Structure 1
């Protein structure tokens, strides 16, 4: 995406560059977008695993801190998504990571959707504004906003 317009990149180019067959590609991915989502998902799982191992995921603020820090760390790919008008891929990634799951009861699903919506909304604006403010500042703001919303829920 740094060299070519995302929409112009073909599955054939991807498979030739990766040295895999189209069959292998479609065995693992459903689309070009799916590659990006799964790559980000793999990276964030490693990031969260390290963060959780350090005992830093005990409340909403720490969860948001981990997400904003991850985006700071992966700024290059996130910027490419936004520069290529692909923020919907970033939203799909956030939804997959922390959105509602089909097996969840309604209360849990709505709670997860609310967390995801607040988180994505803040992340989206933060990214569009050039990531002004630190991850910690943003995590504080989002956690405070969510606490206010949940208190009224």
Structure 2
């Protein structure tokens, strides 16, 4: 029979092994993400193959399929990370009371993720990956009131189009200027509602 000290040591070894596997999987995912991003900067997205991704990442096809089903999964994961950061901004209670700061933070987040967003744009999937209402409002602001629901959807579509246009125009205006513009647009639009 094993002593409790030996059992504890075995449990600790299993925990270390589990953590090493988790860290290894995360490292593999990051290598695959970087590989796809580098390849997208060199080639059209639709021409990139799994073989090229794994070769550039230095991992096996088995490692790829252990983490992803296809190359679109990698993009969705990257897009989800951006959406998660935007959602975290939207969850800050202090920003609910100050729309100007909220807009500044959103524009800053887009600027910080410009390299990844640029790749989405080159692949023709920018709008799909930054579909804000999917991540932010349905979770944070559920409502049974149809007027509020559709007003929210219209505002989010407008914000998304403003973000995309600003991004594609080279982000010439700073975050504060864009926040001023957005607050003005939405204050004017909301004041016209019955």
User: Moved runs in structure 1, 4+ residues, more than 4 A?
Assistant: 11-16
CA distance in 2, matches of 1:30, 1:87: 13
* 8 Å CA contact retained: 1:11, 1:32: no
Partner of 1:96: 134
Larger RCO (CA within 8 A; separation ≥ 6): 1
* 8 Å CA contact retained: 2:68, 2:74: no
Q: Is 1:40–2:82 an aligned residue pair?
A: yes
Partner of 1:58: 97
Scaled by the length of structure 1, the TM-score of the pair is 0.73
Q: Secondary structure at the match of 2:143?
A: coil
In the TM superposition, what are the counterparts of 1:17-32 in structure 2 within 5 Å? Answer: 17=57, 20-22=63-65, 24-26=67-69, 31-32=73-74
Question: Structure 1, unaligned stretches of length 5 or more?
Answer: none
Does the C-alpha gap of structure 1 residues 30 and 72 become closer, same or farther in structure 2, counting only changes over 3 Å?
closer
* 8 Å CA contact retained: 1:15, 1:22: no
Structure with larger Rg: 2
CA distance in 1, matches of 2:46, 2:118: 16
For these two proteins, the number of residue pairs brought into alignment is 147
CA distance in 2, matches of 1:84, 1:137: 29
CA distance in 2, matches of 1:72, 1:21: 30
